[in-house]
């Protein structure tokens, strides 16, 4: 069976076609670290990010829920900022960087990398994708891709 390219090359092509960067490589103290697009995490990274999101949603400290007169929850309480779990500080950016880099996080940090680099680069990637969608003549300057259909008579 002949191969016509690598999985990495295929991901790069697909990301480029869809209008976003597959990843951004940054060099810190002579070491290269890759921050993947959040849509292209490998299975291990995705599992770690999902676990972080679940933990944050289910275990991190929140303000009190907003309740109705009957005591039912109208709106769940917002996460406390700065983030904490059982009163202990929880830095989301550090935890996210640990999820992305896995075993390489300590190397990243020791080389002078900052956990906020992941969020900064992901924000840049999202902004570039939004701009491309806005500039796309087929999108009509809108992120909406499907026309609203009126209710039937």
- Give the DSSP letter of residue 41: -
Judged against a pLDDT cut of 80, whether residue 79 lies above it is answered with: yes
Binned at pLDDT 50, 70 and 90, residue 130 comes out as confident
List pLDDT tens digits, range 22-61.
Answer: 789 988 888 999 999 888 899 999 999 999 999 999 999 9
Task: Tell me, yes or no, whether 91 lies in a domain.
Answer: yes
**What's the number of domains the chain is made of?**
1
Judged against a pLDDT cut of 50, whether residue 152 lies above it is answered with: yes
- CB distance 45 to 36 below 8 Å: yes
Read off the pLDDT of each residue in 128-153 and give the average, rounded to a whole number: 62
Residue 30, SS3 per DSSP = coil
Task: Tell me, yes or no, whether 150 lies in a domain.
Answer: no
Residue with tokens 């406390």: 80
Task: Tell me, yes or no, whether 4 lies in a domain.
Answer: no
- Residues paired with residue 31 on neighbouring β-strands, in sequence order: 28
Judged against a pLDDT cut of 50, whether residue 3 lies above it is answered with: no
Q: What is the pLDDT of residue 140?
A: 54
Q: What is the pLDDT of residue 42?
A: 93
Which residue segment(s) compose the domain that 63 sits in?
12-129
Count of CB atoms situated within 10 Å of the CB of 34: 12
Task: Tell me, yes or no, whether 147 lies in a domain.
Answer: no
- CB distance 105 to 98 below 8 Å: yes
- Please, is 22 exposed, middle or buried when counting C-beta atoms within 10 Å of its C-beta (0-12, 13-18, 19+)? buried
Task: Tell me, yes or no, whether 60 lies in a domain.
Answer: yes
Q: Is the dihedral of CA 11, 12, 16, 22 positive or negative?
A: positive
Task: Tell me, yes or no, whether 92 lies in a domain.
Answer: yes
Task: Tell me, yes or no, whether 100 lies in a domain.
Answer: yes
- CB distance 99 to 88 below 8 Å: no
Q: What is the pLDDT of residue 18?
A: 60
DSSP3 helix / strand / coil % (the chain, rounded to 5) = 50, 15, 35
Task: Tell me, yes or no, whether 30 lies in a domain.
Answer: yes
Torsion of CA 37, 38, 44, 47, to 10 degrees: 180
């Amino acid at each position: 069976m002949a191969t016509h390219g690598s999985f990495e090359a295929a991901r790069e092509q697909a990301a480029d076609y869809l209008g976003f960067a597959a990843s951004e490589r940054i060099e810190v103290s002579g070491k290269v670290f890759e921050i993947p697009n959040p849509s292209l995490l490998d299975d291990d990274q995705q599992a770690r990010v999902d676990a972080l999101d679940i933990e944050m949603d289910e275990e991190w400290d929140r303000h009190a829920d907003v309740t109705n007169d009957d005591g039912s929850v109208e709106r769940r309480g917002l996460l406390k900022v700065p983030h904490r779990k059982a009163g202990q500080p929880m830095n989301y950016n550090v935890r996210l960087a640990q999820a992305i880099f896995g075993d390489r996080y300590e190397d990243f940090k020791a080389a002078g990398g900052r956990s906020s680099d992941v969020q900064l680069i992901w924000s840049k990637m999202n902004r570039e994708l939004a701009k491309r969608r806005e500039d796309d003549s087929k999108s009509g300057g809108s992120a909406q891709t499907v026309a609203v259909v009126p209710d039937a008579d």
